[in-house]
Amino acid sequence: MHKLEKYQVIDVSDFDLDIIMAVCGESDRNLELIGSKLGCRVYLEDDFIKTSREDTVARISDIIKAFVSVYHDKGTLDYEDVTAIVVNQAETGFYKEPIISAAGSRKFYLRTRGQKALYDAFRTHDITIVTGPAGTGKTFLAVVFACDMLRKGKVRKIIVTRPVVEAGESLGFLPGDLKEKVDPYLRPIYDSFDAIFGNGSVERLMEKGVIEIAPLAYMRGRTLNDAVVILDEAQNTTGMQMKMFLTRMGFNSRMIITGDVTQIDLPSHKTSGLKKAIQIVQGIEEIAVVEMHRDDVVRHPVVQKIIEAYEAEE
What is the Cα–Cα distance from 65 to 87, expressed in whole angstroms? 15
pLDDT of residue 165: 66
Range of 3-12, 31-40, 203-212 with top mean pLDDT: 31-40
271-312 pLDDT per residue, tens: 999 999 999 998 999 999 999 988 888 878 787 778 778 878
The residues with which 64 forms a beta bridge, in sequence order, are none
Q: Which of 85, 81, 44 is nearest to 63 (CA)?
A: 85
**Would you say residue 135 has pLDDT above 90?**
no
Distance CA 104, CA 253 (A): 29
Band (103; pLDDT cuts 50, 70, 90): confident
Strands 127-131 and 227-231: unpaired
For 14-43, write each residue's pLDDT tens digit: 999 999 999 999 999 999 999 999 999 999
Please give the pLDDT value at position 171: 45
* Bridge partners, residue 287, by sequence: 127
At residue 12, the pLDDT reads: 94
* pLDDT over 70 (residue 90): yes
Which residues sit opposite 152 in a β-bridge? none
pLDDT tens-digit series, residues 174-198: 455 555 656 777 788 888 898 898 8
What phi, psi does 145 have (nearest 5°)? -60, -45
Q: Measuring CA to CA, which residue among 296, 260, 287, 288 is closest to residue 114?
A: 296
Q: At 156, which helix (H) or strand (E)?
A: none
What mean pLDDT is predicted for residues 242-262?
Answer: 95
pLDDT reported for residue 173: 46
169 pLDDT exceeds 60? no
What is the Cα–Cα distance from 305 to 33, expressed in whole angstroms? 13
Question: Which residue, 263, 282, 271, 212, is CA-closest to 242?
Answer: 271
